[in-house]
Amino acid sequence: MEINVIPDLKRVAFVGNYLPRHCGIATFTTDLCEAFTAQFPHVQTMALAMNDRPEGYAYPEKVRYEIRQNDLYDYERAANFLNQHEVGAICLQHEYGIYGGDAGRYVLTLLRNVSAPVITTLHTVLEKPDPEQFRVLRQVAELSNRAVVMSERSADQLHDVYGIPHQKIDIIPHGIHDIPFLDPGFHKDKFGAEGRTVILTFGLLSRNKGIEYVLDALPDVVKEYPNLLYLVLGATHPQVLAQEGEQYRESLQERVRQLGLENNVMFHNEFTSLQDLKEYIGAADIYITPYLDREQIVSGTLAYTVGAGKAVISTPYRYAEELLREGRGILVPFRDSKSIAEQILYLLKNEAERNAMRKQAYLYGRDMIWPTVARRYMETFEKARKQNAQAVYPIPVTGSVENSIERLPTLKLDHIFRLTDGTGMLQHAVFSVPNYNEGYTTDDNARALIVSVQLEETRSQPGVEDEKHTLTQGLELGYRYLAFLWHAFNPETKRFRNFMSYDRRWLEETGSEDSHGRALWALGTVMGRSRREGLRGTAGRLFERAISTAIEFKNPRAWAFTLLGTHRYLRRHPGDRAVAQVQNTLAQRLLQMYRDNYTPEWPWFENEVTYCNPALSQVLIRYGHANNDSEALAVGIESLGWLLKIQHSDQGWIMPIGSQGFYRKRGEPAYFDQQPVEVYSLVSACLEAFRVSKDWAWYTHARESFEWFFGRNALNLPVYDHVTGGCRDGLHIDRLNENQGAESTLAFLQSFLEMRQFELELPSQQHDRERRATSDLLADHSPKAT
């Protein structure tokens, strides 16, 4: 089953070093995060920064979490933080030296514990790694949904050396700031270099930079161009500074004195601001990267200067070989001062060739500017999220039919008690804590009233002695929920209000048609199934006042909820002609809607499959069976079978139509976010179909739907929380919605209580006989996904 519609990306976390820490990864992470935020302001962004010292750094507000590099437990805590904040994508910067453990293996703990899709940018892909480097990088790539590299050579090495499939790899160039294509003389006066030829090298200083080979080349150049200035810009790398201080810089300065170049070489020992860096680059006539490490697969400094349209000379490390081909720069051998001198002189003497090189480089760099790179990352994020949603999880089929009653968990009402106060059922929760800010709804108090009636029936079942106290407490809450409905009804408008604030103020004069229909469903359930006379008397009076308004409704789901209530009511008062007339009118409207919209490929009531869809089928199955209406019964069975077909995965679990887009005719179904109320509707409708048809395939579908709550779903994660007794609010495309609101918890309890009641109703001998035919019936009747 392919997932074609996924919800919009709402939150992205960037993990790596971050400014003001002085290193290339910090600069890259900061620039990427800021560029992405600028391009996609509707997406919330945050950063998780690696700390290599106890005191940390003075990070900006964008950094929400700090990870101590050498504390393994910090990586697990960071994963929990990301899961708690429900990020939609994690963009990880990988370099061996910034994470703790051998070859940076601590980062694997973070990757194994996050629920969101991971997109990892690999800043180093070694051609000849040692065993531990190989193991760590391979696992990082395997635990990531996408791997980003900055060169074709890196992509090939990632595949050939580490075995990562090409289809998992994206090549996105190193981002650069957009520097205008200016004459170098424009900025030279700011550095006292007006009238001079400027050669530039910049970046954090360390011994692998090869600066000494440029210094050794300069005497031959200065002979012909005595006004030449070689500017070495950048502070010493913090790790080098910690290990050996300024020994390397001081050795270079001594070399300058020995070569007599004091007037031609200038060192700027500073970590330069972005604005100053742009001006330094703008002032350069030639840029040189004399690096000594052939395996270097990325260089931010080289990317910046190529994108700025500079004439570049470089040693042939991996990244330079790729970036400078096709006339965008000149390569010289490693540790070859003579070649460096020759190429500097060539460029200074051939202005036309130098300008042509600059133009080639600048045009190539247009695809490297940060806004463009940020959009490329968004494309990769979306690919990762879609692939994450389509991942197939091997979920074993649970036990046989005869053991299903033993598999049901113990009844647990803790979260219902937690969500209920003196007013009624609170609407939402933050995780498992009631959220007072969202107040109450008639919708949820109606659902809760139905559960109270189900608990009343459960108390009379055999084998519930251990649950008697819990059941009694739950029954008492029914009075509170009915009192809420009584207060919600506005006798002037003959409509229920729906939303109430926590301070008991109604937020609307008239609620939705759905909330009115659900209230009638609950009242009818009390009338038809409760033995408590006080509840029945109040419910009957309120039902009589509210039922006539239902005829005016336009929403077919409000009709369906009302019909669920009238069906229960008429079981106790079958002679009530007024209620029977409402039932007949609404059922016939549903039938006509089905006739108007039906095609063989789309046997449905509307041009869109939205929410609580099985309820439409269920009410016609009930109506048709109770009233000997063969058309209504056939429509109910056919439409429910079609719903199962489009919501059934090849692997055997259900995929409820999701709230992020639904399913329009001739469109593609949205399978996320999946919500528990949809699953309950399917459980209840399938049980209804079984009661009418005695076809065991329907029971199997009800059981499969119910098992969605326990992890037989697209994410292989339990939605029901056996610790709290609550139910999580659903499945996002890549994680659980960890909040446990009233609708979700009540949907689970309704499903649980209906399944338990149903299985106790089955005569054991019929159960054994018909169970043996289940597999044959499934083969003939079970809807399958296309």
**Local confidence band at 763 (pLDDT 50, 70, 90 cut-offs):** low
pLDDT at 768: 45
574 pLDDT higher than 80: yes
How many CB atoms sit inside 10 A of residue 574's CB? 11
- Mean pLDDT rounded to a whole number for the chain: 90
Which is it for strands 229-233 and 198-202: parallel, antiparallel or unpaired?
parallel
Q: How does pLDDT run across 216-228, given as a tens digit for each residue?
A: 999 999 999 999 9
Which residues, in sequence order, are CB contacts of 28 under 8 Å at separation 6+? Answer: 16, 93, 121, 123, 174, 175, 300
Average pLDDT in the 295-319 region? 90
Instruction: Please state, in angstroms and rounded to a whole number, the distance separating the CA atoms of residues 232 and 202.
Output: 6
* Residue 395 pLDDT: 34
pLDDT confidence of residue 230 = 95
Summarised one tens digit per residue, pLDDT across range 469-499 is 777 888 899 999 999 999 999 999 999 999 9
**pLDDT (tens digit, 9 = 90+) per residue, 162-214?**
999 999 999 999 999 988 887 787 778 777 788 899 999 988 899 999 999 99
pLDDT of residue 86: 83
How does residue 7 score in pLDDT terms, banded at 50, 70 and 90? low
Q: How much of the chain exceeds pLDDT 70, in percent?
A: 92
530: helix, strand or coil: coil
Contact between residue 671 and residue 655 where contact means Cβ atoms under 8 Å apart: yes
pTM beyond 0.75: no
Rounded to whole angstroms, what are the CA distances from 726 to 432, 532, 720, 745?
7, 27, 6, 5
Q: How far apart are CA 428 and CA 432, in angstroms?
A: 9
Mean pLDDT to the nearest integer, 697-713: 94
Q: Hey, CA dihedral for 139, 142, 146, 150, is it positive or negative?
A: positive
% of the chain exceeding 90 in pLDDT: 76
pLDDT tops 60 at residue 669 = yes
Q: In the prediction, which pLDDT does 276 show?
A: 81
Q: What is the pLDDT of residue 171?
A: 96
- pLDDT tens-digit readout, 137-172: 999 999 999 999 999 999 999 999 999 999 999 999
Q: pLDDT at position 634, please?
A: 97
DSSP state of 74: H
